[in-house]
Structure 1
Amino acid sequence: MNMELREIFSAFTRIDFKEIITASMVLFAVIDIIGSIPIILDLRKKVGHIQSEKASIVAALLMIVFLFLGKEILTLIGIDVNSFAVAGSFIIFFLAIEMILGIQLYKDDEPETAAVVPLAFPLIAGAGTMTTLLSLRAEFFPINIVIAILINIIFVYVVLKSSGIIERFLGKQGINVIRKIFGVILLAIAVKLFAANIKGLFL
């Protein structure tokens, strides 16, 4: 019991607001829930109801589980975190290019229903998000990434609940501007992630 308490206390002493803010911004850009508003609106029109609470909870659980078990899965198949982080930096790089240039290099099929599967996965917790989580794990303490995940999930829930209002307020042009701004931030983070982990491949 004392050991568990010490571990919990140790985790909380590693809370770093700078890491939380950085990780939150990276996940916000990768999840791109603002850019997904047109898809969300289309889903709402097709089925009449978005399962906001369920989708948010499932997405959060998927991300947290993958954050902690993803490394073990990689170890099992013989891939180190540095290699995965470098690979992740390329994915983040291409996501950023998509956002900045407004092109589609690759995209998941548009979901046909508003069930948990298309919303929680792959719309919220997609392949890019999962890769990014393990890339962040190579740089930041897990507690800070978990907090960043929860911050983003709260924001995702708010967007899902009020997507129509947000679209009317920002307009298509406003959504595009936000995507491009975060695309540039994401591009810079991809370069930093690559530079920080490429050295580990040759040690």
Structure 2
Amino acid sequence: MNTTACPPRRALPRLVACLPVLATLVLTLAVPAEDRKPEGAKADPASTPLEVRITGEQRTFELEPWMIKDVENAIVAAREYEDPKMESTPTLDHTLEIVNTGKTPVEIWTEGDPFVLTLTLKGKGAVNLVPRRAVRKEFISPKAVRLAPGESFKMPLRSLQSGFRGEAHYAYWKEAGDYEITATLRTGVSPAPEGAEAGEDGFGMVTLTSAPFAVKVELTK
């Protein structure tokens, strides 16, 4: 005699009706994190007709054991010393691209003190350091380039050392894993976008943020 319990017949339609909802929930939870689209590029103010991008073919980097010790030394130097000699950051062979996404020509500062590019690293083993620096008093005036609609300005990215005058921000990875590099650019644009802070000579100060550039770091033996 079969003694297996079965749900009452009246309960079956309710159970069947719930199955699509349960299946949808399972499928949603099963989507891996790496399949989610990264956050896109941003501009502040939003009316700025420019986009900044990180481009390059290399997506995988090697981390040797001695490099981990260098990162530890850099952490100590940034914390304890004034104007320290920092360890070299990981090298890059990439490009920063600033694109005019608008319908009219613009001028943008690409050099000088008001042009500040910061490369920020995110990931489990990411280290971002801002050491105390003695800043030279003289002001380095900005220089501008003109970009037609759709035209871009490109500059090489050689390492994860960046910030004011290229020596204010140091980024390192101290373990293997997945990381994201994000470029944040503070510069001036003419004509000044609506809502931009006033700069020199009719330029407006804007902040451009790139979409994260995903890389993978592998530990060598």
Q: Could you say which structure has the higher helix fraction?
A: 1
Q: TM-score, normalised by structure 1?
A: 0.26
Q: TM-score, normalised by structure 2?
A: 0.25
Larger RCO of the pair (alpha carbons < 8 Å, separation 6+): 1
Q: Could you say which structure has the higher strand fraction?
A: 2
Higher radius of gyration, 1 or 2:
2
